[in-house]
Structure 1
Amino acid sequence: MFKYKKMSGITEIGAEGDTTSVNVDESESVVNCLIALYLLKQSENRVDGITKMQKITFAIQNEMSHEGICAISGEFFKWYHGPMSDEVYETNDVLVENGLVEDRGLTLTARGATVLDDFTYIIDNNRDVFDIIDRNVNELSYLALSEIKERIYSMMIKPLGCTMPIAVRDIPRGTTIFRNEGFSSLNIDSEDLETLEIYMCEEIHQSVLNGMDDAKSGRVTRLQTA
């Protein structure tokens, strides 16, 4: 389980609140990873850095929030260079550590592409969610980072707990913009999640493959000696 904490949260513009935290469990983390893999594949190598990944994920999360869709678990808050999410960094770390994404350039590895292909049916069963990703990737990934930042900073947002919209550039640093835990909008069952977790974890997946190879070898040996 991943846990993220910030020193302070702000529930109204300019008013500090209690310390906030976001808990992302293994199932939520693996769904975040699947969505990130899909985003990177659709960008065709145009998302070449974590900052660009942050901004496009923010735009996606913002549209999902407007549509009442819960799919990406995490929190965005205003920081020095605009909206930031610890979960985007953590998701990227998980993908890199498990050999699914190259550390530099954020391109899918052969293993990452294979995992995504094996779970295309989940994407097809949730087109309303992944269409939002497609729209934002198509709109933003072609732009220079400076252009993306300007679009994001110009967005009118109602931060968490606030009733009036405000331009992102005018939101005080440290303000929680929005927070989501869970993926209730996704059509995905527990068996799919368990399989996805196995595939995403390089060590566990390799162990399963080795076990299958051992079983096959043992079966062949028994047949040969019978």
Structure 2
Amino acid sequence: MIRADYLEDDFDRRLVDSVLLLALWHFASSEKSDAGGRLRLMKLAYLLFRRLQCDSVCALSVNFYRWQYGPMSNEVYEAWERLEAADLMDEEEVWTLTDSGVRLAENFYEEVLKEESNAAVKAAVDEVAQEWRTAWSAQPLMQHIYSLSSRIAEVGPSIEDMALGDDFEPPPAPADAEMCLNVDDSWVESLSVALSSESMASLRSSVADYRGGRIHLAR
């Protein structure tokens, strides 16, 4: 069993959750880096969450509950806010990844998910992204999800038949999982900078000041 004890820190987990979702949405995006609307992205996040649950992998520390359009997660909303504040995603008619977001997603995939210890997480991301990349509308995603059992390891009512507000099974705890996502400390430190809205706001302000002639770089 692979343990990543530093991810027991809630802030670190949220950072890793955000970049893992960013990687999923990137590889499930169109060639223009259009990831789709909120409904599509939320359902992709749930399918990754469910696949990891089925494999007893501790990698995505979010919780889902049944809402009007199927599985919903407050933590996914927080990830959107975090990624947008860090200028990694942008939402107009649909969500798109910025150039910085694409680079971060691809670097995380190459340097973290391709590690042998993270093979199960990479396989889950690949499976969900490849299966649903051409499903631009959220409708086929929702139809598929509604047909699934609300329980992972046993027969239960379909997700469509769940009552509004009912919680889905939580992700496996690190102590109970077959394996956990292994992320190097240096990556966590990098994410704390890349996903810090304060750092990004300061950087954007400095760039704007420089371009506007309000500050000059020393030669």
- Scaled to the shorter chain, the TM-score interval is 0.7 to 0.9
Assess if the C-alpha contact under 8 Å between 2:18 and 2:79 holds in 1: yes
Deviations along 1:73-98, whole A, 9 cap, x unmatched? 11111111111111111101110111
Letter in 2 for 1:73: S
State how 1:174-213 maps to structure 2 within 5 Å: 174-180=165-171, 185-201=180-196, 203-204=198-199
Where does structure 1 lack aligned partners over 5 or more consecutive residues? 1-22, 211-216, 222-226
Where 1:83 maps in the other structure, the secondary structure is strand
| Separation in 1, partners of 2:173, 2:82 | 18
Q: Is the 8 A contact 1:37 1:112 kept in 2?
A: yes
Q: Which structure 2 segments of 5+ residues have no match?
A: 1-7, 207-216
Cα gap change, 1:123/1:155 in structure 2, threshold over 3 Å: closer, same or farther? same
What TM-score, normalized by structure 2, do the two folds share? 0.75
The letter of the residue matching 1:109 is T
> Percent same amino acid at aligned positions?
22
Root mean square deviation of aligned Cα? 2.7
Residue 130 of structure 2 corresponds to residue 141 of structure 1: no
Instruction: Say whether 1:37 aligns with 2:30.
Output: no
- 1:80 corresponds to which residue? 68
Query: TM-score of the superposition, structure 1-length normalised?
Result: 0.73
User: How far is the alpha carbon of 1:207 from its aligned partner?
Assistant: 6.4
Work out whether 1:58 is the aligned partner of 2:43. no
Alignment of 1:1-226 (within 5 A): 25-45=10-30, 47-104=35-92, 105-119=94-108, 120-125=110-115, 126-143=118-135, 144-158=137-151, 164-180=155-171, 185-201=180-196, 203-204=198-199
* Residues in 1 aligned to 2:56 and 2:10: alpha-carbon distance in whole angstroms: 21
Name the CA distance, whole Å, in 1 between partners of 2:55 and 2:39.
25
Relative contact order: is structure 1 or structure 2 higher (C-alpha 8 Å, sep ≥ 6)?
Answer: 2
In structure 2, distance between residues paired with 1:186 and 1:43: 20
The answer to whether the 8 A contact 1:24-1:73 is kept is: no
Q: Is the 8 A contact 1:72 1:182 kept in 2?
A: no
Provide, for residues 47-79 of structure 1, a one-character-per-residue CA deviation record: whole Å limited to 9, x for no partner: 311110111111111111110011111111111
Q: How many residues align?
A: 188
Q: Write the distance in 1 (CA, Å) between the matches of 2:9 and 2:170.
A: 11
Give the drift of 1:167: 0.7
The 2-side partners of 1:95 and 1:181 are apart by 25
- Structure with the bigger percentage of strand: 1
Deviations 1:88-113 (A, max 9, x none): 11101110111000122222111212
User: Which whole-Å deviations, capped at 9, do the CAs of 1:158-213 have from their partners, x for residues lacking one?
Assistant: 17xx96422101111111112237776111133321222112225436869x8xxx
